[in-house]
Amino acid sequence: MVTQQAGTAKIAIEPGSVQETLIIPLYGRKLCAEVFPRLYNDTSAAELCARLDYDFSGLDRQAKSTFWRFGALEAAMRQLDMEWEIRDYLAAHPQAAVVNMGCGLDQTPRRCDNGTCLMYNVDMPNIIDARAELLPEVAREHNIACDLNDARWMDEVDGSGGAIFFAAGVFHYFTFAQAQALVSGLAERFGGCRIVFDTIGKLGRRLMRSTFKSFGMENYDECLCVEDVSELRDWVPGARVTSRGYMLGYYPMDDPAVTGLHRFLARLCDRRVKMQIVRIDTVG
């Protein structure tokens, strides 16, 4: 439950609430903008954190860790990659729908707003309720409260001007069959759309097993992992399926605050953990 504190502009986040689960990725984006400003200049996370009545002291202590900062860097690079893909698509389809699947408190569509596109945020109802209170809709933006695996949410998307669907840190929690059904469903409804999501390989899935278990997913070996993008080429007949490493596949991480260790870990993540951005361009 989000509550407004009397006499202040702060919004209180109650411990154990759904809203609290959204704090860590939000804080990670704030941290990255502070530590790597030449690379990642998004101020929206810091502005939102400043509006919250929440004890950030524990996160502030963790933020001094090299590995915690690398985790923030991972999240930031993934967001920058998604933005690259969105802007590239909008250059050819300026009135397209930009659809954030599993949005949380992410504001990527707003950062890519060209003044004519439509913006959609899709997530579970309790997450959308939190978002509505913390980030009220702006012009041409629509929130959709629905499970991504329930295809009815697609009915609310106007793809007449084209559509790009993206998901950051979401498909790891889908089974191969769920991910395939979602992608093929989008391709069937929205011809000529682009679908972008991040994946990990088998090693990455093993490294994430404690995270999966914390979500009650004991059979984490059923979750989607991709060793080679060719595994996905029969998901959508005729589609062009490509991938890039998401740490170094789009940007060279040109920031003096990025250390040699960070670069080593980035290469390890792209090559061994198989952290990659998958792009599927469907036939129009």
pTM: 0.91
Q: Is residue 112 part of a domain?
A: yes
Nearest to 108 by CA among 85, 133, 139: 85
Q: Is residue 79 part of a domain?
A: yes
Q: Is residue 14 part of a domain?
A: no
Give pLDDT, residue 13: 82
Q: Are 275 and 208 in contact (CB under 8 A)?
A: no
pLDDT (tens place) for every residue of the chain, 284 residues total: 444 443 445 778 887 776 787 888 888 889 999 999 888 888 888 999 998 899 999 889 988 888 888 988 998 899 999 999 999 999 999 999 999 999 999 999 999 999 999 999 999 998 999 899 889 999 999 999 999 999 999 999 999 999 999 999 899 889 999 999 999 999 999 999 999 999 999 998 888 877 766 666 667 778 899 999 999 999 999 999 999 999 999 999 988 889 999 999 999 999 999 999 999 999 98
DSSP 175: B
Give pLDDT, residue 2: 42
Any idea what the CATH number is for the domain that residue 209 is in? 3.40.50.150
Q: Is residue 243 part of a domain?
A: yes
Q: Is residue 19 part of a domain?
A: no
Query: CA 74, 142, 27: angle at the middle one, nearest 5?
Result: 30
Q: Is residue 192 part of a domain?
A: yes
Domain that holds residue 190: 73-281
Q: Are 82 and 166 in contact (CB under 8 A)?
A: yes
The H-assigned helical ranges of 135-259 are 176-189, 202-207, 209-214
Q: Is residue 231 part of a domain?
A: yes
Structural domain count, the chain: 1
Q: Is residue 103 part of a domain?
A: yes
Give pLDDT, residue 269: 95
Cβ-based neighbours of 95, under 8 Å, separated by 6 or more: 116, 117, 118, 160, 161, 162
Give pLDDT, residue 6: 39
Long-range contacts at 150-157 (CB < 8 A, ≥ 24 apart): 151/185, 153/122, 154/185, 154/186, 154/189, 154/190, 156/120, 157/97, 157/99, 157/120, 157/190
